[in-house]
A and B are shown apart, each in its own frame.
Chain A
Amino acid sequence: AQSVTQLGSHVSVSEGALVLLRCNYSSSVPPYLFWYVQYPNQGLQLLLKYTSAATLVKGINGFEAEFKKSETSFHLTKPSAHMSDAAEYFCAVERTGANNLFFGTGTRLTVIP
Chain B
Amino acid sequence: ETGVTQSPTHLIKTRGQQVTLRCSSQSGHNTVSWYQQALGQGPQFIFQYYREEENGRGNFPPRFSGLQFPNYSSELNVNALELDDSALYLCASSLSGTRNTGELFFGEGSRLTVL
User: Residues of A at under 8 Å CB distance from B?
Assistant: 32, 34, 41-46, 49, 51, 90, 92, 94-95, 98-106
A105 to B38, CA, bound (A): 10
A102 to B106, CA, bound (A): 15
A3 to B105, CA, bound (A): 21
A90 to B104, CA, bound (A): 13
**With contacts A32-B99, A43-B4 known, is A106 near B42, CB below 8 A?**
yes
Among A49, A51, A105, point to the contact of B41 (Cβ < 8 A). Answer: A105
A101 to B99, CA, bound (A): 11
Task: A98-B56, A105-B41, A106-B41 are known; give 20 further A-B pairs, CB within 8 A.
Answer: A32-B101, A34-B102, A41-B108, A43-B92, A43-B106, A43-B107, A43-B108, A45-B106, A46-B103, A49-B102, A95-B45, A99-B56, A100-B45, A101-B43, A101-B104, A103-B42, A103-B44, A104-B42, A105-B40, A105-B42
Check A100–B42 contact: CB distance below 8 A. no
Total number of residue pairs linking A and B with CB closer than 8 Å:
63
**With contacts A41-B108, A100-B48 known, is A90 near B102, CB below 8 A?**
no
Query: B33 at the A/B interface (Cβ < 8 Å)?
Result: yes
A44 to B41, CA, bound (A): 13
A104 to B41, CA, bound (A): 8
A42 to B107, CA, bound (A): 8
Q: Mark B35-67, 1 if CB is under 8 A from A, else 0.
A: 100001111110010000001101000000000
Residues of A within 8 A of B43 (CB): 44, 90, 101, 103
